[in-house]
Structure 1
Amino acid sequence: MNAEQPTAGSIAVLIVDDHPVVREGLSAMLESAPGIRVAGTAGSGEEAVVRAAALEPDVILMDLRMGAMDGATATARILAHSRRPKVVVVTTYEDDADILRAVEAGAAGYLLKGSSRADLIEAVRAAARGETVLSPAVAGRLFRARSQEQPPPLSGRECDVLRLVGRGLTNADIGRELHIGEATVKTHLLRVFKKLDVSDRTAAVLAAIRRGLLD
């Protein structure tokens, strides 16, 4: 039977990778799995966008690093037009930034190409059920990446100092108001600048307000 002919009740999969041998290998791993059919393949991010619109697959196995349009960009473009397909990134790369970009683009999962056939098949089925698919190692990396992305919280004293900065008080005034030395006020402000990734007092107050850190 032609691989692109529909089968009632089956999970249609689009395989995207710029290496033919990888596309063939993934296809072979899935073809014998009950309830799964390979609807088609694509060799680039651009082709993936076109084929996803034409085939309307249930699940897309997406390579991450490909030519002009990478997997994260292709994922974002596909999902901007249709929320139906669930995208599972399958790649050799496990860099924290790569994982975060893929998930932020809307990917439902992230697997390494070294995953077993059983893991791949289960990932396709889980994604089709609407579940998030992350191997334990990748889940840990994603957690770390998201933790690094969020600025550390300000302490109560740092918030007190920043509120007074927002009122236009000088370091000396803030010190008298909080009964601490002026040098201590400067230390608190330097820590605030580092946590909020800013370089001056005004930017610190604005950044804290945007993040809801000041009431």
Structure 2
Amino acid sequence: MFRAREYKICIIGDSGVGKSCLITYFLTQKFDSNNKVTVGGAYHEKQLFINNEPLHLQIWDTAGQERFRSMTPMYYRNADLIILAYSINSQKSFSNLPGWLLDVQKYHDGDPILSVVGNKSDLEKYRKVETKEGKEYAQSIDATFFEVSAKSGTGISEMFGKIAYQVAETRDRAKQNKTGYINPESQTETNKKGCC
């Protein structure tokens, strides 16, 4: 029995975009309308199987309020993947993403994988940020892009499954480049096709 590979994922963004709700739905398959404001950071764990291999996700939820922002870097400093979250019904939360990314570039001591996530897709009639805008921003920073709903659960499992697969594949390639060793398993058609 081999030990599951561990990866650290951190979700950042403005207060009120639904960061805690995204994680809660992923962990429980339920929407919790009573989620309290995160103070500092909160830690969660989840194990997934990618190509029949266990991956252990260490997920850090961070506070988006300005008074806690100075604490945020300690949570994402060594993260393998950073999720930049905004709400599709809040132009401000989307416009603030470059500021959050600047913090990552300033304080992260490596080269994390990035993902841009627009939450609250269930509020389509109140949309302020078009899908095209989100995709273009994600593309400009070489990030993956998702629109999801932590209330209905739309896209949540798919999003976390894809980013877990992406982290595992990217870190595998980086390790191979360092050692010169290529794992034959990573070259199979099954592994090329995707996750879960």
Task: Give the TM-score taking structure 1 as reference length.
Answer: 0.44
Give the strand-richer structure, 1 or 2.
Answer: 2
Between structures 1 and 2, the one with greater helix share: 1
**Bigger RCO (CA 8 Å, 6+ sep):** 2
The normalised TM-score by structure 2 is 0.48
Indicate the structure (1 or 2) with the bigger Cα radius of gyration: 1
